[in-house]
Amino acid sequence: MIKIDNPDRSSWDELLKRPTQTYAQIEGTVLEVFKEIQAKGDDAVNFYTQKFDGIQLKKIQVSDSEINLANDRVNLDLKNAIKLAKQNIEKFHKAQVTSPIYVETSEGVNCWQEKRPIQKVGLYIPGGTAPLFSTILMLAIPAKIAGCKEIILCTPPDKNGNINPAILFTAALCGIDKIFKVGGIQAIGAMTFGTETISKVYKIFGPGNQFVTVAKQMATKYNVSIDMPAGPSELLVVADDTAEPSFVASDLLSQAEHGADSQVILVSTSKELIYSVEREIESQLAVLPRKKLAEQAIANSKLIFVEDHKTALELIDEYGPEHFIVATNDNDYYVENIANAGSVFIGNYTPESAGDYASGTNHTLPTNGYAKQYSGVNLDSFMKSMTFQELTPQGIQNIGTQIELMAVAEGLQAHKNAVTLRLNKLKQNPNA
């Protein structure tokens, strides 16, 4: 990891850059795949699955027999762990259900807001070196609670054309309608345009690599919404002498092992802690099964010393971390004042892994600084707010003249007429 001592504020922009390619560097590849899928549907999806994933599939939709087989292959302890996580995630997201809001803004002018589910949603679940079945829980559970009518799932197949059993078990447990063996750009393209087999959706959810992130952003150009630009994983820990170095190191490594393009940062007011964490990282890294991937991420990651908590918080807000762990002697200061973070983990005994799996909060979070303007996935992500209004005869009389005046001032005579006709009708027949 790169150690930085009291970085000057003028260097923060450069210091906090993510180790990712830019949109422009990837856009050409994504656009080519999108155009092919738009024109050729399933044929293009199959072509790119063979090209990128190295497998030619006869059928891309997972069959009932494959789901049943997967159920038999997942051991009971893991099933029970997944069910516990499902229970906690459901509990947290059901608590986010809100009642309609009713307001009489003027006498006889009734306004209200209700939330309705997005009818068709597509979930993208990364596979590859780490089959993220936990992400199914994070996306399918709120989609079901929201009441989405159609929920489809795309996830990449392995070299034998199979899907990890835990992914299929979890998808079935959550009541996913259809599961497809499609990953990467071609999965996002298929859900954007629809093919002979895969439905077009209204909104796409789920994290992925840089190509998936850019593909999701491109999908928005074709009238498909996305949850957020969620790319490679990242974690920032702020810690001082009250933190346990082994805990901090384990948290940093837990994100580093996601992939070579992940980034982890430690910000600390203690040089001694930084040195201790660095030693712990070397020790723990040596025995990790995903050591090579983690090493590459660690090479791009940083250990930053600052003099005080105020400077630390300002730097952290400038970064806007996806995951933010606070382990200091003044946790309340950070919790009360943090402005830009996807999800916050407080205290020595709150590992980021808890949020990844089973605490109940959602782990699909904004990366690459998007925490400055995006929320993580929540129940509202799967819903739309619709407003309603109903005016009684008294209501239109109470605000009608004001509407007429405003319409004339904007030069919109038909808007005025729509009110004037009603007011004249009421003058002729006050009991209407």
Residue 231: band (very low, low, confident or very high) from pLDDT cuts 50, 70, 90: confident
Q: Where are the domains of the chain?
A: 23-227, 232-375, 392-428
- Give the single-character DSSP code of 230: -
Tell me the C-alpha distance between 103 and 105, whole Å: 6
**Is 392-428 a domain of CATH 1.20.5.1300?**
yes
pLDDT at position 22: 67
Decide: residue 246, CB within 10 A, 0-12 exposed, 13-18 middle, 19+ buried. middle
The percentage of the chain sitting over the pLDDT mark of 70, rounded to a whole number, equals 99
Helix extents (H) in 54-75? 64-73
Give yes or no for residue 428 having a pLDDT over 90: yes
Residue 186 marked ligand-binding: yes
CB 179 within 8 A of CB 163: yes
Residue 428 marked ligand-binding: no
Residue 333 marked ligand-binding: no
Residue 261: band (very low, low, confident or very high) from pLDDT cuts 50, 70, 90: confident
Tell me the C-alpha distance between 349 and 26, whole Å: 39
Residue 356 marked ligand-binding: yes
Residue 410 marked ligand-binding: yes
CATH code: domain 232-375 is 3.40.50.1980
Mean pLDDT of 288-315: 94
Look at residues 225, 277, 279, 222 and name the one whose alpha carbon lies nearest to residue 252: 277
Mean pLDDT of 235-260: 96
pLDDT at position 337: 98
Active site residues: 322-323
Mean pLDDT of 200-228: 94
pLDDT at position 315: 98
Residues in contact with 309: Cβ distance below 8 Å, sequence separation at least 6, in sequence order: 269, 328, 330, 333, 334
Assigned fold of 23-227: Rossmann fold (3.40.50)
Give yes or no for residue 230 having a pLDDT over 80: no
pLDDT digits (tens, 9 = 90+) for 176-204: 989 999 999 999 999 999 999 999 999 99
> In whole numbers, what is the pLDDT of the chain averaged over residues?
95
pLDDT at position 267: 98
Residue 158 marked ligand-binding: no
Mean pLDDT of 158-168: 95
Candidate from 17-31, 113-127, 158-172, 368-382 with smallest mean pLDDT: 17-31
Amino acid at 378: N
Look at residues 16, 14, 42 and name the one whose alpha carbon lies nearest to residue 264: 16
What's the residue count for the chain? 432
pLDDT digits (tens, 9 = 90+) for 277-287: 999 999 999 99
The dihedral region occupied by 206, where left means phi > 0, alpha psi between -120 and 50, and beta the remainder, is: left
Sheet strands side by side (includes 234-239): 2-5, 302-305, 263-268, 234-239, 323-327, 343-346
Residues in contact with 24: Cβ distance below 8 Å, sequence separation at least 6, in sequence order: none
The percentage of the chain sitting over the pLDDT mark of 90, rounded to a whole number, equals 90
pLDDT digits (tens, 9 = 90+) for 89-148: 999 999 999 999 999 999 999 999 999 999 999 999 998 677 899 999 999 999 999 999
Spell out a b/e string for 287-323, using b for 16 or more CB atoms within 10 Å of the CB, else e.
Answer: eeebbebbebbbebbbbbbbeebeebbebbbebbbbb
Residue 255 marked ligand-binding: yes
Residue 210 marked ligand-binding: no
Instruction: Supply the pTM of this predicted model.
Output: 0.93
Mean pLDDT of 236-261: 95
Fold agreement (23-227, 232-375): yes
Amino acid at 19: P
Q: CA–CA distance from 419 to each of 80, 109, 402 (Å)?
A: 62, 14, 10
pLDDT digits (tens, 9 = 90+) for 322-379: 999 999 999 999 999 999 999 999 999 999 999 999 999 999 999 989 999 999 999 9
